[in-house]
Amino acid sequence: MADVLVVAEAADGKLKKTTHSAVTFARQAAAALGGTYAILVIGDSLGEAAAEAATLGAEKVLVAEAGALKDYVAERYVPTVAAAAKGAKIVVGTASAYGKDLLPRVAARLSAGFASDISELLAEGSSLKYKRPMYAGNAYGVCTVATPVHVVSVRQSAFAAAEPAGAKSPIEQVAVVPPSAAAERVEFVSFDQVKSERPELAEAKVVVSGGRALKERFNEVLDPLADVLGAAVGASRAACDAGYAASDLQVGQTGKVVAPSLYVAVGISGAIQHLAGMKGSKVIVAINKDADAPIFQVADYGLVTDLFTAVPELVKQIQAARS
């Protein structure tokens, strides 16, 4: 059995990009332990997801596939994940909504310690420690796990997406373990997903976010800029609380953590709670009429001006440059 087991995240039969960050961690951990890593893909209709996982350099790809797993319910997934983890020293996934829901239950099933939302692996020989942000990213703690098995969730923005490794890994089917009698009582009712033609916020390469200053013109101002950049749209908590943007667009400590190649903050002051969700972005552009706004302290490029004038002009200039 591999030393590290990556619990992949799949949706609509495809591997989600969040999994690639967990694989990067697995490569680091396996190297420190002098061992290998495997990837578990669990769900239904997983042919495409398994094929992509097989390109990521794992010792093998384990596929637990059943119609009963089509609709995600943590209680039904945990027994199979725990069985696949037999012999592994570390079980890892990404700290997405999926990972935050599933992995603590896996840890409980394995009687294992859990290191959540880590940003760095610290290896001293085969001894592993985990660094994680605290207080909205203003401080970091280092934790150790005393149990024989470690369960870890990694912050996607802190680990680069793993690239294909060349040779394809063998794919092995594993048995789906039936849930307990208590878990059988948990029923999947529905999944209300917000459909959008834009990239998914947590996985987008470009994100355009707006703050409360946009008021009722939030979409009127931001949508053209997002369209011309092929970007996902995000928002500050203040904009969401005011009803100018949907809650699922919130970026920050209590929202989604993003780390795109380009992050454009429009009318966002830059409270520490918001910075905690986006300061890992590669390039940050801020547009705000307040020259003293905290967002400028982390921005690579800043424009101090009226956003209602600047953003439409920026759209025009980008369109002109591309034509």
Report if residue 209 sits inside a domain. yes
Range of the domain at 238: 201-322
Q: Looking at the structure, do residues 11 and 156 belong to the same domain, yes or no?
A: yes
- Non-local (6+) Cβ contacts of 11 within 8 A are none
319 has binding-site annotation:
no
Quote the pLDDT of residue 134. 86
Q: Looking at the structure, do residues 138 and 102 belong to the same domain, yes or no?
A: yes
254 has binding-site annotation:
yes
47 has binding-site annotation:
no
Quote the pLDDT of residue 199. 86
323 has binding-site annotation:
no
Per-residue confidence at 311, pLDDT binned at 50, 70, 90? Answer: very high
Report if residue 258 sits inside a domain. yes
Report if residue 191 sits inside a domain. no
284 has binding-site annotation:
no
288 has binding-site annotation:
yes
Query: What does the alpha-carbon distance between residue 114 and residue 102 come to, in Å, rounded to a whole number?
Result: 12
Quote the pLDDT of residue 183. 80
268 has binding-site annotation:
yes
Which of residues 130, 153, 184 is at a domain's end?
184
Quote the pLDDT of residue 30. 95
Quote the pLDDT of residue 13. 84
Q: Looking at the structure, do residues 232 and 268 belong to the same domain, yes or no?
A: yes
252 has binding-site annotation:
yes
Q: Looking at the structure, do residues 59 and 145 belong to the same domain, yes or no?
A: yes
Q: Are 314 and 175 in contact (CB under 8 A)?
A: no
Report if residue 195 sits inside a domain. no
Q: Write down the pTM of the prediction.
A: 0.83
Which of residues 184, 215, 249 is at a domain's end?
184
138 has binding-site annotation:
no
* Structure tokens belonging to residue 227: 């369209």
How does DSSP assign 248-309, residue by residue? GGBBSTTSB----SEEEEES----HHHHTTTTT-SEEEEE-S-TT-GGGGT-SEEE-S-HHH
Read off the pLDDT of residues 196-215 as tens digits, 9 standing for 90 and up.
788 888 889 999 999 999 99
Q: Looking at the structure, do residues 174 and 58 belong to the same domain, yes or no?
A: yes
42 has binding-site annotation:
no
Q: Looking at the structure, do residues 316 and 280 belong to the same domain, yes or no?
A: yes
Q: Looking at the structure, do residues 169 and 128 belong to the same domain, yes or no?
A: yes
Quote the pLDDT of residue 34. 94
Quote the pLDDT of residue 194. 67
Report if residue 211 sits inside a domain. yes
Report if residue 194 sits inside a domain. no
Q: What is the mean pLDDT of residues 85-103?
A: 95
Q: Looking at the structure, do residues 227 and 305 belong to the same domain, yes or no?
A: yes
The pLDDT of residue 189 is above 90? no
**pLDDT over 90 for what percent of the chain?**
73
Beta strands in 80-222 (DSSP E): 90-94, 113-118, 120-124, 127-134, 139-143, 150-154, 171-173, 206-210
Q: Looking at the structure, do residues 273 and 154 belong to the same domain, yes or no?
A: no
251 has binding-site annotation:
yes
219 has binding-site annotation:
no
24 has binding-site annotation:
no
CA 258, 262, 264, 269: dihedral to nearest 10 degrees?
50
| Number of domains, the chain | 2
Report if residue 196 sits inside a domain. no
